[in-house]
């Protein structure tokens, strides 16, 4: 055999070996070295929380932290203060630290492709938690959270029942571009009867502080009862901010038909006090499901791509009875 032929054969052999190694590492990608017997004690989970904007979020953070403590898992937690760039930096820091699993509650839907690709290239599985992302689903392992579209539809059903002859209403929406706000707004519009008109919609960014001036501005423009008969509010914290503005303007509980989302203690209190006529549940207690799925991913087990939380709608008639047992 000539030297030239031998070199060519060796080169081909080398290329085939490199290709095989590359293939096998992407095949076994995202499985931890302890697989298939990894335990929670061996897990380091990264949770770049999006912020602390609401009671819902506080309960979600507590659920993630408490579950880590109970299971003996390591948690790398950060608070992005509702800024996507902070979440992306936190994600990159976790990739650098080579965590086992990333669980990401994304502040907005768009703009995750690059960092999710980086996590994928580093063989770190990502679970999208709570809100959704618009990125290609091949870039993450699964999503665990609420059906935000269904929540919007449930809110619409309350308005349809209350106003069979039509009405004008306002909408106080959540963070612009967030899966929660987009889903709720879309579901609401899909199911709202055509004789109910949303005369104005503004964001209160899911916070009490930002909802208050938005409601005040609404009240400068529109007369309650005359120009509008109801308000759809995307979360309880904004509802509580709005109530402050309504009270200051002399509006009484029950003058307007108000439907909120979350089912926090604050929302229940607003039902007891007569301000909210319904509260659509959005459950933040996702810790146990997140860690269970994270362990499966470490062990190379298959997981459901979509896990939606089973939720309901709460009403004032039994709000006082349920309030003491609310966990958030």
Give contact residues for ligand AHR (rule: CB under 6 A).
53-54, 56-57, 130-131, 180, 206, 235, 237, 261-262, 282
| CA–CA separation, 87 and 60 (whole Å) | 16
Under 8 Å between Cβ of 243 and 263: no
- Nearest distance, CB of residue 59 and ligand AHR, angstroms: 9
- Nearest distance, CB of residue 39 and ligand AHR, angstroms: 30
- Nearest distance, CB of residue 166 and ligand AHR, angstroms: 28
Nearer to ligand AHR, 163 or 206 (CB): 206
Question: Residue 305, class by beta-carbon neighbours within 10 Å (0-12 exposed, 13-18 middle, 19+ buried)?
Answer: exposed
- Nearest distance, CB of residue 189 and ligand AHR, angstroms: 18
| CA–CA separation, 82 and 80 (whole Å) | 5
| CA–CA separation, 137 and 48 (whole Å) | 19
- Nearest distance, CB of residue 233 and ligand AHR, angstroms: 10
Instruction: Return the ∠ at Cα 180 (arms to 165 and 230), rounded to 5°.
Output: 25
Residues in the chain: 328
Scan for tokens 């929406």, then name that residue.
173
- Residue with nearest beta carbon to ligand AHR: 56
Scan for tokens 């054969």, then name that residue.
9
Tokens of 93: 């820091």
- Nearest distance, CB of residue 230 and ligand AHR, angstroms: 19
Nearer to ligand AHR, 60 or 67 (CB): 60
3-state secondary structure of 10: helix
- Nearest distance, CB of residue 126 and ligand AHR, angstroms: 17
Under 8 Å between Cβ of 46 and 102: yes
Nearer to ligand AHR, 57 or 296 (CB): 57
Angstrom CA distances, 120 to 4, 10, 106, 127, stand at: 40, 32, 17, 12
Nearer to ligand AHR, 77 or 222 (CB): 77
């Amino acid at each position: 055999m000539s030297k030239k032929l031998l070199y060519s054969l060796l080169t081909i052999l080398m290329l085939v070996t490199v290709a095989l190694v590359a293939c096998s590492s992407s095949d076994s990608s995202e499985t931890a070295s302890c697989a298939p017997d990894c335990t929670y004690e061996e897990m380091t989970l990264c949770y770049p929380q999006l912020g602390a904007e609401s009671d819902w979020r506080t309960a979600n953070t507590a659920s993630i932290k408490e579950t880590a403590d109970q299971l003996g898992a390591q948690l790398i937690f950060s608070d992005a203060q509702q800024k996507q760039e902070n979440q992306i930096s936190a994600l990159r820091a976790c990739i650098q630290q080579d965590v086992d699993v990333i669980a990401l509650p994304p502040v907005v839907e768009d703009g995750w492709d690059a960092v999710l690709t980086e996590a994928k290239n580093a063989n770190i599985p990502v679970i999208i938690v709570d809100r959704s992302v618009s990125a290609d689903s091949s870039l993450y392992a699964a999503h665990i959270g609420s059906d935000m579209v269904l929540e919007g539809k449930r809110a619409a059903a309350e308005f349809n029942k209350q106003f069979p002859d039509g009405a004008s209403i306002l909408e106080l929406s959540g963070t612009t571009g967030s899966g929660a706000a987009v889903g709720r707004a879309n579901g609401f519009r899909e199911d709202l009867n055509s004789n109910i008109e949303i005369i104005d919609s503004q964001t209160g960014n899911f916070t009490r502080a930002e909802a208050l001036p938005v409601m005040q501005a609404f009240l400068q423009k529109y007369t309650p009862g005359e120009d509008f008969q109801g308000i759809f509010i995307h979360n309880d914290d904004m509802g509580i901010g709005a109530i402050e503005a309504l009270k200051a303007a002399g509006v009484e509980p029950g003058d307007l038909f108000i439907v909120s989302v979350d089912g926090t203690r604050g929302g229940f209190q607003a039902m007891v006090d007569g301000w909210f006529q319904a509260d659509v549940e959005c459950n933040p207690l996702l810790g146990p499901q997140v860690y269970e799925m994270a362990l499966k991913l470490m062990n190379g087990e298959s997981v459901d791509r979509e896990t939606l939380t089973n939720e309901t709608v709460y009403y004032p008639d039994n709000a006082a009875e349920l309030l003491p047992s609310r966990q958030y």
